[in-house]
Chain A
Amino acid sequence: MPDKKEINLTIDGTKVTVPEGTTILEAARMVNADIPTLCFLKDINEVGDCRMCIVEVEGRRGFATSCIQKVEEGMIVHTHSKEIMEARKIVLDLILSNHQRDCLTCTRNGNCELQTLAMKFNVMDVEYEGEKNKHKIDDLSPSIVRDFNKCILCRRCIATCKNVQKIGAIDCINRGFESCISTTGDKSLNDVNCTFCGQCIEACPVGALREKDSTEIVWEKLKDENVHIVVQTAPAVRVALGEEFGMPIGTNVQGKMVTALRKLGFDKVFDTNTGADLTIVEEANEFIERFKNKGTLPMITSCSPGWVKYIEMNYPELLDHLSTCKSPHEMFGAILKSYYAEKQGIDSKKIFVVSVMPCIAKKFERQREEMKNDELDNVDAVITTRELARMIKQGGIEFTELEDSEFDSPMGEATGAGAIFGTTGGVMEAALRTAYESLTGEELKKLDFEQVRGKEGIKRATIKIGDIDVKVAVAHGLGNAQTIMEEIKNGKADYQFVEIMACPGGCIMGGGQPIKTAKVRATKDVRKLRADALYTIDEKSKIRKSHENPVIKQLYQEYLVEPGGHKAHELLHTHYVKREKYQ
Chain B
Amino acid sequence: MKTLEEINQIRKTKREELDLRVNLDAKTREKHILVCRGTGCTSSHSPKIIETFQRLIKEKELKNVKVIQTGCFGLCAKGPIVIIRPEDTFYALVTPEDCEEIINTHLIEGKLVERLLCKDIDDTVVKRLDELNFYKKQKRIALKNCGIINPEDIDEYIAFDGYKALEKVLKEMTPEEVIKTISESGLRGRGGAGFPTGKKWEFTRIAEGDQKYVVCNADEGDPGAFMDRSILEGDPHCVIEAMMIAGFAVGANKGYIYVRAEYPIAVHRFQIAINQAKDYGILGKNIWNTGFDFDLEIRLGAGAFVCGEETALLESIEGRRGQPRVKPPFPANKGLWGKPTLINNVETYANVTKIILNGAKWYSSIGTEKSKGTKVFALGGNVNNVGLVEVPMGTTLREIVFDIGGGIPNGKGFKAAQTGGPSGGCIPAEHLDTPIDYESLAQIGSMMGSGGLIVMDDTKCMVNLAKFYLGFTVDESCGKCTPCRIGTKRMLEILERITEGKGEEADLYKLEKLALSIKKASVCGLGQTAPNPVLSTLKYFRNEYIAHVRDKKCPSGECKALANITIDSDKCKACGICKKNCPVGAIIGEPKVVHRIDPDICIKCGTCVDKCPFHAISK
Report if A50-B482 is in contact (Cβ < 8 Å); known contacts: A87-B517, A87-B520, A128-B510.
yes
Contact yes or no, A90 B477, CB < 8 A? no
Complex CA gap A68/B490 in Å reads: 27
Q: Is B493 positioned at the interface, with any CB of A under 8 Å from its CB?
A: yes
For residue B475, which residues in chain A have a CB less than 8 angstroms away from its CB? 175-176
Contact with B along A315-346 (1 / 0, CB 8 A): 00000000000000000000000000000000
Interface residues on B, range: 20 to 34
Contact yes or no, B482 A51, CB < 8 A? yes
Complex CA gap A47/B513 in Å reads: 26
Q: Is A139 positioned at the interface, with any CB of B under 8 Å from its CB?
A: no
Report if A177-B485 is in contact (Cβ < 8 Å); known contacts: A47-B326, A90-B517, A97-B490.
yes
Q: Name the distance in Å between B518's Cβ and chain A's nearest Cβ.
A: 8
Complex CA gap A52/B523 in Å reads: 12
Q: Is A147 positioned at the interface, with any CB of B under 8 Å from its CB?
A: no
Cβ contact of B486, chosen from A47, A63, A94, cutoff 8 A: A94
Q: Name the distance in Å between A380's Cβ and chain B's nearest Cβ.
A: 43
Q: Is B50 positioned at the interface, with any CB of A under 8 Å from its CB?
A: no
Complex CA gap A372/B477 in Å reads: 51
A49, A63, A171, most chain B CB atoms within 10 A? A49
Q: Is A199 positioned at the interface, with any CB of B under 8 Å from its CB?
A: no
The chain A residue sitting closest to B493, CB to CB, is A130
Contact yes or no, A128 B514, CB < 8 A? yes
Contact yes or no, B514 A90, CB < 8 A? yes
A-B contact count (CB 8 A): 101
For residue B474, which residues in chain A have a CB less than 8 angstroms away from its CB? 176-177
Q: Name the distance in Å between B487's Cβ and chain A's nearest Cβ.
A: 5
Complex CA gap A256/B483 in Å reads: 47
Cβ contact of B521, chosen from A87, A153, A179, cutoff 8 A: A87
Contact yes or no, A177 B489, CB < 8 A? yes
Q: Name the distance in Å between A59's Cβ and chain B's nearest Cβ.
A: 13
Q: Name the distance in Å between A555's Cβ and chain B's nearest Cβ.
A: 54
Complex CA gap A55/B489 in Å reads: 24
Contact yes or no, A95 B486, CB < 8 A? yes
Contact with B along A174-192 (1 / 0, CB 8 A): 1111110000000000000
Complex CA gap A98/B479 in Å reads: 13
Report if A91-B482 is in contact (Cβ < 8 Å); known contacts: A97-B490, A128-B510.
yes
Report if A69-B490 is in contact (Cβ < 8 Å); known contacts: A128-B514, A175-B478.
no
The chain B residue sitting closest to A94, CB to CB, is B486
Contact yes or no, A179 B482, CB < 8 A? no
Cβ contact of B477, chosen from A91, A171, A175, cutoff 8 A: A175
Complex CA gap A63/B524 in Å reads: 11
Contact yes or no, A97 B486, CB < 8 A? yes
For residue A172, which residues in chain B have a CB less than 8 angstroms away from its CB? 321, 479
Q: Is A426 positioned at the interface, with any CB of B under 8 Å from its CB?
A: no
Complex CA gap A128/B476 in Å reads: 21
Contact with B along A21-34 (1 / 0, CB 8 A): 00000000000000
The chain A residue sitting closest to B518, CB to CB, is A90
Q: Is B481 positioned at the interface, with any CB of A under 8 Å from its CB?
A: yes
Q: Is B371 positioned at the interface, with any CB of A under 8 Å from its CB?
A: no
Q: Name the distance in Å between A40's Cβ and chain B's nearest Cβ.
A: 12
The chain B residue sitting closest to A129, CB to CB, is B490
Contact yes or no, A177 B326, CB < 8 A? no
Q: Is B411 positioned at the interface, with any CB of A under 8 Å from its CB?
A: no
Q: Is A65 positioned at the interface, with any CB of B under 8 Å from its CB?
A: yes
Contact yes or no, A90 B489, CB < 8 A? no
- Within A56-90, which residues are at the interface with B (CB < 8 Å)? 62-63, 65, 68-69, 83, 86-88, 90
Q: Is A131 positioned at the interface, with any CB of B under 8 Å from its CB?
A: yes
- Within B471-524, which residues are at the interface with A (CB < 8 Å)? 474-490, 493, 510, 513-514, 517, 520-523
Cβ contact of B479, chosen from A51, A94, A175, cutoff 8 A: A175
- Within B68-83, which residues are at the interface with A (CB < 8 Å)? none
Q: Is B46 positioned at the interface, with any CB of A under 8 Å from its CB?
A: no
Contact yes or no, B485 A179, CB < 8 A? yes
For residue A486, which residues in chain B have a CB less than 8 angstroms away from its CB? none
Report if A174-B479 is in contact (Cβ < 8 Å); known contacts: A65-B326, A87-B521, A130-B493.
yes
Q: Name the distance in Å between A278's Cβ and chain B's nearest Cβ.
A: 47
Complex CA gap A390/B485 in Å reads: 35
The chain A residue sitting closest to B497, CB to CB, is A130
The chain B residue sitting closest to A38, CB to CB, is B482
Q: Is B328 positioned at the interface, with any CB of A under 8 Å from its CB?
A: yes
Contact with A along B444-478 (1 / 0, CB 8 A): 00000000000000000000000000000011111
For residue B316, which residues in chain A have a CB less than 8 angstroms away from its CB? none
Contact yes or no, B517 A91, CB < 8 A? yes
Complex CA gap A352/B528 in Å reads: 59
Complex CA gap A21/B617 in Å reads: 71
Interface residues on A, range: 35 or more
Contact yes or no, A91 B521, CB < 8 A? yes
For residue B514, which residues in chain A have a CB less than 8 angstroms away from its CB? 90, 128
Cβ contact of B487, chosen from A63, A90, A153, A178, cutoff 8 A: A90
For residue B231, which residues in chain A have a CB less than 8 angstroms away from its CB? none
Report if A176-B521 is in contact (Cβ < 8 Å); known contacts: A51-B481, A65-B326, A153-B479.
no
Q: Is B426 positioned at the interface, with any CB of A under 8 Å from its CB?
A: no
Report if A175-B304 is in contact (Cβ < 8 Å); known contacts: A68-B326, A90-B513, A130-B490.
yes
Contact yes or no, B328 A69, CB < 8 A? yes
Complex CA gap A175/B478 in Å reads: 5
Contact with A along B242-268 (1 / 0, CB 8 A): 000000000000000000000000000
Cβ contact of B482, chosen from A83, A94, A131, cutoff 8 A: A94
For residue B523, which residues in chain A have a CB less than 8 angstroms away from its CB? 48-49, 51, 65
Report if A131-B480 is in contact (Cβ < 8 Å); known contacts: A63-B521, A87-B517, A90-B521.
no
B474, B486, B513, B523, most chain A CB atoms within 10 A? B486
- Within A458-505, which residues are at the interface with B (CB < 8 Å)? none
Contact yes or no, A49 B480, CB < 8 A? yes
Q: Is A54 positioned at the interface, with any CB of B under 8 Å from its CB?
A: yes
For residue B520, which residues in chain A have a CB less than 8 angstroms away from its CB? 54, 62-63, 83, 87
For residue B326, which residues in chain A have a CB less than 8 angstroms away from its CB? 47-48, 65, 68-69
For residue A69, which residues in chain B have a CB less than 8 angstroms away from its CB? 326, 328
Complex CA gap A179/B513 in Å reads: 24
Q: Is A548 positioned at the interface, with any CB of B under 8 Å from its CB?
A: no
Cβ contact of A177, chosen from B304, B479, B481, cutoff 8 A: B479
For residue A88, which residues in chain B have a CB less than 8 angstroms away from its CB? 521
Complex CA gap A95/B514 in Å reads: 13
The chain A residue sitting closest to B486, CB to CB, is A94
Q: Is A127 positioned at the interface, with any CB of B under 8 Å from its CB?
A: yes
Report if A86-B517 is in contact (Cβ < 8 Å); known contacts: A91-B483, A175-B475, A177-B477.
yes
Contact yes or no, A177 B528, CB < 8 A? no
Contact yes or no, B480 A171, CB < 8 A? no
Complex CA gap A91/B474 in Å reads: 16
For residue B477, which residues in chain A have a CB less than 8 angstroms away from its CB? 175-177
Contact yes or no, A98 B321, CB < 8 A? no
Contact yes or no, A176 B517, CB < 8 A? no
Contact yes or no, B478 A94, CB < 8 A? no
For residue A176, which residues in chain B have a CB less than 8 angstroms away from its CB? 474-479, 484-485, 488-489
- Within A538-579, which residues are at the interface with B (CB < 8 Å)? none
- Within B315-330, which residues are at the interface with A (CB < 8 Å)? 321, 326, 328
Would you list the 4 A-B pairs with minimal beta carbon distance, nearest first?
A: A179-B479, A176-B477, A94-B486, A48-B326
Identify 22 residue pairs between A and B in the complex whose beta-carbon atoms are under 8 Å apart, listed by A's number: A48-B326, A49-B482, A51-B483, A51-B523, A62-B520, A63-B521, A69-B328, A88-B521, A90-B517, A91-B482, A91-B483, A94-B486, A95-B486, A128-B487, A128-B510, A130-B489, A130-B493, A176-B476, A176-B479, A176-B488, A177-B479, A177-B489
Residues of A that sit less than 8 Å from B by CB: 47-52, 54, 62-63, 65, 68-69, 83, 86-88, 90-91, 94-95, 97-98, 127-128, 130-131, 153, 171-172, 174-179
Residues of B that sit less than 8 Å from A by CB: 304, 321, 326, 328, 474-490, 493, 510, 513-514, 517, 520-523, 528
Q: With A95-B482, A175-B479, A177-B474 given, can you name 8 additional A-B contacts, CB distance below 8 Å?
A: A48-B523, A51-B482, A90-B521, A172-B479, A175-B478, A176-B478, A176-B479, A177-B486
